[in-house]
Chain A
């Protein structure tokens, strides 16, 4: 299915302030999602998932790991999507990294029902990513690399991302008890469903 999505003429641009509040929203909501996720000991897909896994295994905090893991990919992002995209993505990644370290001082969860936690994670990180996409940003590495590979080799971006997630979840099954990994799969499924249904570039004019 390579049908290009019809894009309406770009009649308006978001102003810098509008983009800023969009990134602030996306970064903060993503941080809340990650704080819940790591409190439950769950993982997720993409670069955030790898960072969570690394932080569980090493004992390092998620924030710095996620920030560092994303660093190599900004160059590819610049080549593929341009300076504005890279700058916004850098800001979003930095916000998520920073807030994920600060937020636990202000908000501590006690017991979270795993089903409720997984679904809530999917909803709030899904809408955080939607907002970031809407304002021309992303949360880093894997998606950028996937698009870059698609341009260079024709290997579909979706497959790269799926292969990456399969590796992260495979590693998680090897390293963690199976129950939290199974709940994590539900969270990742909800997250992807939220984006699949609601990320519709053909429906916006700004």
Chain B
């Protein structure tokens, strides 16, 4: 286990703002491509996608609503700043995911491309959010807390949660879509497991 270096510098407010903005856009872009292929993912985003496919409600709205209960937990565990940054990121992603629909038309996307591009785009988006002390709510909050308190890598917590969610998806969706979705979730979690290294940065 790596110990954190003592934080010697902090991000400025501007640096945090641009970090949360760029990361939210990348997360939303990944989800936009994923949705265009009718795939799902893990976390509260995956839950929201399944619900939106089944009910026809918009993903952005469902994602925003599902995350509300988790802010209390975020506040309790990691304080107001983390809670507010998560609220900002989730709100941004909810809005951007709906905004991209009419402004970035995807004509055709192969599920393989959707899975890979989602994994790396949303994966790096989440990394950016984590780096700037934000998150995409729900499961990632719990994953971050477990990593901070017990050193249990955030990627593993999310993988376990995702497996449960995918079990449910197998009931509701065609098998091939669930398998492609699994590829995307694996890539996303690999991106995070490889690159989320608090011990390698000297700025918080």
Contacts and interface: CB of A to CB of B under 8 A. Distances in A.
B191 to A, nearest CB: 7
Contacts of B110: 105-107
Interface in A78-131: 103, 105-113, 116-117, 119-120, 123-124, 126-127, 131
Given A18-B194, A107-B108, A127-B22, A203 B202 contact: yes
B115 to A, nearest CB: 10
Contacts of B49: none
Nearest to B14: A197
A29 interface: yes
A152 interface: no
B45 interface: no
A117 B29 CA distance: 11
Interface residues of A, number: 36
B26 interface: yes
B90 interface: no
Interface string B174-204: 0000000000000000110011010111110
B202 A205 contact: yes
Contact of B200 (A12, A116, A197, A200): A12
A127 to B, nearest CB: 6
24 contacts: A18-B194, A25-B120, A25-B124, A28-B116, A29-B120, A29-B121, A103-B113, A106-B112, A107-B33, A107-B113, A107-B114, A108-B107, A108-B109, A109-B106, A110-B106, A116-B99, A119-B25, A127-B22, A127-B124, A203-B9, A204-B202, A205-B199, A205-B200, A206-B197
Interface of A: 8, 12, 18, 21-22, 25, 28-29, 32, 103, 105-113, 116-117, 119-120, 123-124, 126-127, 131, 194, 197-198, 200, 203-206
